[in-house]
Amino acid sequence: PSVEVAYETYGTLDAEGNNAVLICHAITGDSHLARHDEEDDPGWWEGLVGPGKAVDTDRLFVVCSNVLGGCRGTTGPGTINPVTGIPFGSDFPLVTVEDMVDVQKRLIDLLGIKRLRAVIGGSLGGHQTLCWATRYPEYVQTAIPIAASARVTAQAIAFDVVGRNAIQSDAHFHGGQYYGTGEFPRTGLALARMLGHITYLSSEAMTRKFDLDRHAPRDIVTDFEKRFSVGSYLAYQGKQFVGRFDANSYVAVTLAMDNFDLGDSREGRLDAFRAARCDWLVISFSSDWLFPPSQSRELVAIMTTLGQPVSYCEIETDGGHDSFLLADDIAAFSPLVAAKLGAPQPRQPRISSDDDRILQLIPADSSVLDLGCGEGDLLGRLKERGAPLLCGVEVSTELIAATMQQGVEAIDYDLNVGLPEFDDNRFEYVVLSSTLQAVPNVERLLEDALRVGRRAIVGFTNFAHRTLREMFGLEGRAPKAPGSYSYEWYNTPNRRFPSIQDMLDLCEKMGVTVEKARYYDDTEGRIIGDDEDANLLAETALLVLSKNSD
């Protein structure tokens, strides 16, 4: 059977057919991403797609099609069945995300696209993105799933079940064959939309939006309850949705999302993702409880275990699941997308004296994981030197984007809970520069570092330096020093205050070999000699550690 596909394109396909980006929409979205000109209506990803934007249509050829089973031009339940001469209705076949992607693949082929520079999508669009990367791995260079997961949670399915029940139990549903009857399951579809819309918001956003005027609802014409402001808002959302969407399509597309499953266990997901050949950017939102960040971190864990290049960032927001469509949140994650899709933009790295010292300890062809990578300056310099594998770990969206602009992967990860799930000995060096003093479990972090790396380079301020001893012993004040210990005692993020001797004792206790040790008098700009008391004279230290061979 033939399938009609409604799609829109932006930009120009290059002669090689390799600059195309496929963008996949969510459940109730469509192909209209952005304006085509000043007179056009704005699109649903206006802030992300367009000339000079993160998905830059001056450089990239962007394609977005309406999904199979939808109601915005692509074949769906409202399409005429050529056998019966009436709309398919409930006779429309069960649609899967894989079916949606297969139809997109045919469109891509017809457009002359040889390989996709990227596939990007949020929510159901994120599921399509994951499906593309695992189903057609040879066609995808970069995959960017946003607010997505390997499978939908039982709680998320439950909301969809109630929504579909509301539609299918509506007296005007007529078993899905309501076309041509003059009736439409408006009440059921509106209720489904209201319920779904609640899942797209967060508790914080609803409090901010509705609490101050909770007893002052908008005066709208509706049969639904409107005694509270949140009630009139939901009634309005339901009314607007009924005017633009088809009930059968809502049933079909939500079923496709609920049936999407890349594995119900870690082993199953490893098998599913093993085929992927792309690099990844995974984005989640802190207040999204429909597809929570934990599900994105599960994806990242699978990718890192398989050795696939991945960057990840959790955007702090109270926007909930809908954050991927909100202007402020789009502005927050746009630099990440731009960094992933653009050519690396290495600035002249602002190499600190600590980083310069670390560089001297790392051979040029070594793979490196930098824990607390900042703006990626050390990694950028290592990339210039030809390092084959580099990755940074940070918690700031801005710092992750800056690192990615160096052409280096960066992962948003809380070192307080350990390290991302890299394979053993994935890196030759793991760098912990001014990191250990801020984590709650130093031993576990060192163990993890020496699991994923053959060696760890640990940099820290020596808390037994004579200046600090004098501040405490003679002045009776909490010691302070430039760098890690420049804070006041009442606002310091530091948890640990190790001396050089403390670190050496810990290494001995853990059975860790100190291969090299460099001790520095930063004030005088010199290295402390082997015959000097480093624990007294050195302000900072660098240790190269490895696991004992026995």
Q: Is position 123 annotated as part of the catalytic site?
A: yes
- What lies within 8 Å, CB to CB, of 325 at 6+ separation is 26, 44, 45, 122
Which residue, 181, 159, 177, is CA-closest to 168? 177
Q: Of these residues, 123, 149, 229, 484, which one is catalytic?
A: 123
Q: Are strands 368-371 and 390-394 parallel, antiparallel or unpaired?
A: parallel
464: tokens are: 């037994």
| CA R_g for the chain | 28
Q: What is the DSSP letter of 377?
A: H
Phi, psi of 87, rounded to the nearest 5 degrees: -55, 150
What distance in Å separates the CA atoms of residue 464 and residue 535, rounded to the nearest whole number?
Answer: 6
Which residue, 166, 179, 150, is CA-closest to 265? 150
Q: Of these residues, 25, 32, 127, 321, which one is catalytic?
A: 321
Q: Is position 465 annotated as part of the catalytic site?
A: no
Q: Of these residues, 160, 170, 279, 288, which one is catalytic?
A: 288
Helix (H, G, I), strand (E, B) or coil at 516: strand
What distance in Å separates the CA atoms of residue 112 and residue 106, rounded to the nearest whole number?
Answer: 10
Q: Which residues of 191-215 are buried (b: 16+ CB within 10 A; e: fewer)?
A: bbbbbbbebbbbeebeeeebeeeee
What distance in Å separates the CA atoms of residue 469 and residue 30, rounded to the nearest whole number?
Answer: 66
H or E element at residue 537:
helix 534-537
What distance in Å separates the CA atoms of residue 261 and residue 524, rounded to the nearest whole number?
Answer: 61
Q: Is position 321 annotated as part of the catalytic site?
A: yes
98 and 262 Cβ atoms separated by less than 8 Å: no
Q: Which residue has the tokens 């003679």?
A: 474
What distance in Å separates the CA atoms of residue 326 and residue 323, rounded to the nearest whole number?
Answer: 5
* Phi-psi region at 73: left, alpha or beta (left = phi > 0; alpha = psi -120 to 50): left
What distance in Å separates the CA atoms of residue 248 and residue 69, rounded to the nearest whole number?
Answer: 9
Q: Which long-range contacts (CB under 8 A, 24 or more apart) does 172-178 make?
A: 173/247, 175/89, 175/90, 176/77, 176/89, 176/90, 176/91, 176/248, 176/251, 177/86, 177/87, 177/89, 177/90, 178/89, 178/247
What distance in Å separates the CA atoms of residue 429 and residue 431, rounded to the nearest whole number?
Answer: 6
* Residue type (1 letter), 435: T
What distance in Å separates the CA atoms of residue 304 and residue 307, rounded to the nearest whole number?
Answer: 5
**Active-site residue set:** 123, 288, 321
